[in-house]
Chains A and B, each alone.
Chain A
């Protein structure tokens, strides 16, 4: 009996010691709250038509989190789109909600509602972090940002390499279309079919100060009620920031195994320059130029008009003004051209965004 008691004491000491050893002087168990949002004014005008004008609080997002220990934490993101939800209008989404185990810099994992790491914006979509009032069209048409789902992710940094491997719910192949690629196939965690999981691996190289360059590969045997379709998405991305100069480049391709649609393809680049030095002020004033080209039906079996109907080129000039890094005022102006009929639409947007 005594011996048992002694062993128990030792075990208790061991476990408490283990717990102590895991924490350190600076960590405090605590909850966190942060968020971001953006209000937009959008004006679109097709040739020989009157302009549509809208004022939209596009996104209101809240992050809640709690850290139990240095290694175990919980994080979540709840998003309300377009002010309210009613009769299929607006969206209320649980975009992230996961338990995070951060073992060390080289390894950690997340289980819950996670974000696959595809392109520069899917995981980092706060408005002060990208140019243009709306997210680049590439991040709607080719990469279905914000793409989230139920599953798990492993991540880490080793030397100058950063990786993330996500395994999560797949896509619904019934909903793939020539006009929006895989976008409508996202299940968004809603009683998601777990029969065929999606695999996504991203690797970035960070060895040059100010540069992030990398790529990702995503694979899924998408399954619907009436179809299956293997898809793979390969994309490369880079972002470079040196002194006042900014540049972004992303390119991606989706291949489909079956159906008339064979591939979706697109790219865009941004070049920006902070001119605040010229005015000798702390507010960052960054004019930028963007060119993008995307086609959700880049290659089809039948060819012809459907390839031209979904092919757009879009040039844009704009301005980001940041009085502090967390607040941005934006404006942009440009022309989007549909290949079929050379149909042009002029777009003018204003926006304000914040993050904390």
Chain B
């Protein structure tokens, strides 16, 4: 991977290289050492084939996380020497991503902000020009939801509708984003037309895998339909919902009344596809997961970073080694990636019952 780098910081980095690695061992810089970023670093550091650097505006936090994973804490400028950068800080990511791409560094963004994601998608040409991949929306939702959608879509002849529901938050920044999402304007696709509806409306009772079970979910300002439309352009109906309580909806347009928890509880996602089998029979498929949102999001981001480096079961697929990559792209090794994510402690489930007979 051709990169324009200043060699000076490399010397600093090598001085902290854990035993057993060499100067050729790829480096992943994780920018943001919060609940999710620290887990991304931990997932990556468990692999002897990767060196991990941690970047955070709070130097003490970065040092603590780096020490716990036998990595190093660096500043943002030194992150330019990494092979892959995982952006795990609060949105926006677009400006940072542009900066890294221009320096020839591959980027994995965990952003779930609609405006930010739209800006990231516009960096496709730049990423192609510099020959680096830019993974957009590598978290729980978006991210894992896209992979599950692609897996289920493989069982259908045609997919007409995709409906995503999510529950829970990771760290405080994620909780703030959740708060904003219920007070914004949702984006959806209805019969091929983009629709914008006030978030916090459109209640639907959604069932997640145990132990989350059922929650009322509402339209939310999340980038899911935008990203999924990019990889499922023929699907005519898409929606994304988020769980919320009465208080969440009532206060969504106000500043957060109380500071968010350090980390949310067990979260979940639910992916529902409606379409037809090859025989023409109508079918509804449902899959999901219930796990701490930070665990799932970090597993996805770490897996995509590994995939870029060729460390996952399948190396980057020919034709998508540069430019914007959205999870759910049919050229990605979806099954392999899902198994990698499962291996990071994310249980993946499918629903049987109405849509599919139980195992005999």
Q: Specify whether A and B are partners.
A: no
B: residues with CB less than 8 A from A are none
